[in-house]
């Protein structure tokens, strides 16, 4: 029994020394929580986050406050400006925002999605706010359930984790246990090895996600207005770009702990700013620019356009071009940075 405990203690001590002596992993585990807390404090700083999001159509020179209407002074509501009804109304129908009000007309008007509980609560706030009464205008087009809007985000998030962590850990482990060192003795080039890893992971991810999507489609009766083939093209491009991003992270690292920390730094902001669970309408410009640099943003915008609006590939030129460019850049960068051996 004593011998067993000595062996356990020796193995525990050896693993602890291995972690402590890996300065990159130790430093990352100390720095990463501080960076995360500081980043979240910056994004969500203020007296408290609003409970509702309302788009406002108002004169260009007007300030969105209670001087326009008492309802605009409600502190629990985030008000942001939209240019016209045609642009903002689909956001109400798709649960991206809770209400659309137009105070540029007399009497003022508002649009609400009757399937939105938040929208119905905002109607009561409008009724009790005082000031000129609003005219209720029925939304046009088919209203969309929240599950129809959020399902692509959840499936895209699941794909993101599979792409980043599925490829990142594997290559780092190959390098750590010497497998890459042995491959380096073969005629296989770095680009060929990385492309093979990418294609293998892409095939598995597509098969799994096709099965998951099919199950959700049947169980939840998800809305699908566009072409399944177009959706498959967009999902393939999105998965390719995120796997290539994971290849860049794993190109030189030999520590699984450090790789996991960096992958968390990449994936956590993508969950927050890419529109997985809520829309980025009305967000600060800096966050929108940051989101535009991430592949998950373009994957979700294209997938939702196909599923909810019936858009075709010709109407999705920008997100497709962005995903293609990111895939090429990440793959080239991963091949350029790749090394077979540990330092």
127: CATH: 3.40.190
Distance CA 154, CA 217 (A): 13
Q: Please indicate, yes or no, whether residues 331 and 190 belong to a single structural domain of this protein.
A: yes
pLDDT for position 102:
86
Residue that is last in its domain, among 137, 172, 203 = 137
Domain count, the chain: 2
Give the structural domain span for 118: 52-137
Residues 178, 85 share a domain: no
Q: Is residue 305 part of a domain?
A: yes
Residue 21: the pLDDT is: 64
Residues 133, 162 within the same domain: no
Distance CA 329, CA 192 (A): 16
pLDDT of 246 reads: 87
114, part of any domain: yes
Instruction: Tell me, yes or no, whether 299 and 222 share the same domain.
Output: yes
Decide if 217 is inside a domain. Answer: yes
pLDDT in tens, the chain (343 residues): 666 556 556 555 654 565 556 555 555 555 555 555 555 555 555 555 667 888 888 887 777 877 787 888 888 788 888 888 888 888 887 777 888 888 887 888 888 887 777 877 888 887 777 666 787 876 755 667 777 888 888 888 888 888 888 787 778 887 887 877 887 777 777 777 777 878 888 888 888 888 888 888 888 888 888 899 999 999 999 999 999 888 888 888 777 777 877 888 888 888 888 888 777 776 777 888 888 889 999 999 999 999 988 888 888 999 999 999 999 999 888 888 888 776 6
Q: Which of 88, 109, 137 is the last residue of a domain?
A: 137
Same domain, 245 and 315: yes
Separation of alpha carbons 250 and 331, rounded Å: 12
Residues 172 and 125 in one domain: no
- The vertex-8 CA angle with 5 and 10, nearest 5°, equals 105
Q: pLDDT at position 41, please?
A: 52
Query: Do 329 and 295 touch, CB atoms closer than 8 A?
Result: no
Structure tokens at 127: 């009724």
Distance of CA 78 to the CA centre of its chain: 21
Crossing angle of the two packed helices 190-220 and 228-250, in degrees rounded to 10: 140
Per-residue pLDDT, 334: 84
Tell me the C-alpha distance between 139 and 93, whole Å.
Answer: 7
Rounded to 5 degrees, what are φ and ψ at 312? -100, 175
| Domain-embedded: residue 207 | yes
268 and 179 in one domain? yes
pLDDT at res. 177: 79
* Residue 154 belongs to a domain: yes
Domain check: are 185 and 326 in the same one? Answer: yes
The answer to whether residue 9 is domain-embedded is no
Q: Assess whether 174 and 266 both reside in one domain.
A: yes
Tell whether 155 and 239 lie within a shared domain: yes
Question: Both 207 and 320 in a single domain?
Answer: yes
- Residue 333: Cβ within 10 Å count: 15
Q: Of 137, 167, 198, at which residue does a domain stop?
A: 137
Residue 287 CA to residue 222 CA, distance in Å, equals 29
The chain-wide mean pLDDT, for the chain, equals 79
Q: Look at residue 206 and tell me if it is in a domain.
A: yes
Whether residues 245 and 202 share a domain: the answer is yes
How many Å is the Cα radius of gyration of the chain? Answer: 25
Residue 189 in domain: yes
């Amino acid at each position: 029994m004593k011998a067993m405990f000595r062996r356990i203690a020796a193995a525990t001590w050896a693993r602890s020394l291995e972690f402590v002596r890996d300065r990159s992993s130790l430093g990352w585990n100390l720095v990463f929580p501080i960076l995360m807390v500081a980043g979240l404090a910056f994004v969500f700083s203020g007296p408290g986050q609003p409970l509702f999001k309302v788009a406002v159509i108002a004169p260009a020179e007007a300030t969105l406050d209670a001087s326009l209407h008492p309802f605009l002074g409600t502190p629990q509501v985030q008000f942001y400006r939209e240019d016209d009804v045609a642009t903002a109304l689909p956001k109400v129908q798709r649960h991206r925002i809770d209400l659309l009000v137009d105070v540029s007309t007399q009497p003022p008007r508002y649009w609400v999605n009757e399937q939105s509980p938040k929208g119905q609560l905002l109607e009561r706030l409008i009724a009790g706010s005082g000031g000129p009464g609003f005219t209720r205008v029925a939304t046009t087009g088919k209203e969309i359930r929240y599950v129809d809007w959020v399902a692509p985000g959840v499936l895209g998030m699941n794909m993101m984790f599979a792409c980043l962590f599925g490829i990142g850990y594997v290559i780092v482990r190959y390098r750590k246990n010497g497998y890459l060192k042995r491959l380096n003795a073969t005629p296989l080039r770095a680009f060929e090895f990385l492309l093979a890893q990418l294609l293998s992971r892409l095939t598995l991810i597509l098969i799994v996600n096709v099965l998951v999507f099919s199950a959700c489609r049947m169980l939840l009766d998800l809305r699908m207005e566009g072409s399944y083939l177009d959706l498959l093209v967009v999902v393939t491009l999105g998965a390719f770009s995120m796997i290539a991003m994971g290849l860049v992270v794993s190109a030189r690292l030999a520590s699984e702990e450090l790789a996991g920390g960096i992958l968390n730094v990449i994936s956590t902001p993508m969950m927050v700013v890419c529109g997985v669970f809520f829309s980025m309408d009305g967000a600060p410009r800096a966050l929108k620019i940051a989101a535009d640099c991430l592949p998950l943003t373009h994957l979700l915008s294209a997938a939702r356009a196909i599923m909810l609006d019936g858009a075709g590939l010709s109407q999705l030129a920008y997100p497709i071009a962005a995903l293609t460019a990111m895939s090429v850049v990440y793959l080239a960068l991963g091949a350029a940075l790749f090394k077979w051996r540990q330092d």
